[in-house]
Amino acid sequence: MKFVHIADIHFDQSFTTLDSLAQAGEERRLDQRKAFRKVIEYVRDNKIPYLWIAGDLYENETVRESTIQNINTWFQEIPETKVFIAPGNHDPYIKNSYYETYPWYHNVVIVKPGVSYFEEPDFDLYTFGFGNFYDNSREIENLNIRNKDKINVLLMHANLDGSKKGEQEYNPILRKTLQEKGFDYVALGHIHKSNYAEAKEDGIVYPGSLLSLGFDELGAHGMIVGSLEKVDGKTKLSYEFVPVDEKEFQEIQLDVSGTNTIEELIEMLNDLPANPNYKKIILTGRRNFEIDISKLRKNCNQEKILKIKDETKLQVDFEKEINTFTLKGLFIKEAYQAMATGELTQEEIEKALEIGLEVLE
């Protein structure tokens, strides 16, 4: 039995970082559609019988009816595929939501709030759907598999092993608890970073968001393509991660230590390899000049550089300066004496020197 597992598409969400830049937000929304269509085309071309969507298909607060119509039309392109959607915290099954009111195509099953059970020819599917924007009911903890002779799958939006207070509001569950339940595959959504590599041991899988939504979601994004079958009474699971997002959010560290002017730094930025990826540049090293971020952005011709962060430190010859009778030299001497007496840590001294020397420049 073959399947495709995706989650966290977030149709019609606002791209905070991108919407401030001309056309970038709209471009990314078009990328969402393109990535989703790739999934549909893969399912159709490879005759995949099941598509599992583990929540946050769309943004309940901002989704347009035209977007819902588009999604439903795409589902019509795979009429032989059964689509199961387990609502998450951004697209809960609430009163008057599109999950309740829209006439979805016949191959689409919208999971109702709470725990549900579906007996399919090849496997038994257990699901959990959000009925609100928060859920800490922990209903899954009381779920037991009915027939362990069959392949058993769990589909839900959930926070796995969340320890922080806020994480307890999104269907919290422990990995250990799920392992004890004995599911052959757990199709999860909610966490935007995929864990497909480390999940090989137990089949408890986050595919990650279908496409990257910001700089907190670096790297490749896509779908899980897998198969489940019974071999000599034992379930055999195999799956792979298939990228569908043609762009990535990247962080690039750029050492400015060898540059002496801001013009040199601008040239370094403009000489970076051009590609479609969105970039955040982190400037590092010891600088020999003042860095003006607004000037860098104004003169940089790389439109995919969305952020520039200055983490450089001032280049100072401490041994030379400490022996002078300047304000700078006296300040450095006082700072070193404070560190020698244990009044401040080395990290605190370095921070104080950085701030103080910038003021004295």
* Predicted local distance difference test score (pLDDT) of residue 8: 97
- The residue count of the chain comes to 361
Q: Give, rounded to a whole angstrom, the gap between the first and last alpha carbons of the chain.
A: 68
Partners of 250 in beta bridges: 279
pTM (two decimals):
0.82
CA dist 154 and 128 (Å) reads 8
Strands (E) located in 68-138 = 82-85, 108-110, 114-119, 123-129
For 155-198, the pLDDT digits (tens) are 999 999 876 777 789 999 999 999 999 999 999 999 999 998 88
CA dist 200 and 225 (Å) reads 13
Tell me which fold the domain 2-243 belongs to. Answer: Purple Acid Phosphatase; chain A, domain 2 (3.60.21)
- Residue type for position 184: D
Q: Are strands 2-6 and 222-231 parallel, antiparallel or unpaired?
A: antiparallel
**How is the chain split into domains, by residue range?**
2-243, 249-360
Bigger pLDDT: 290 vs 133 = 133
CB 100 within 8 A of CB 94: yes
Is pLDDT of 340 > 90?
A: no
What average pLDDT does the structure give for the chain? Answer: 88
* Predicted local distance difference test score (pLDDT) of residue 305: 87
For 16-69, the pLDDT digits (tens) are 656 455 567 788 889 999 999 999 999 999 999 999 999 999 999 999 999 999
Task: Name the percent of the chain lying above pLDDT 90.
Answer: 62
For 121-148, the pLDDT digits (tens) are 989 999 999 999 999 999 999 999 999 9
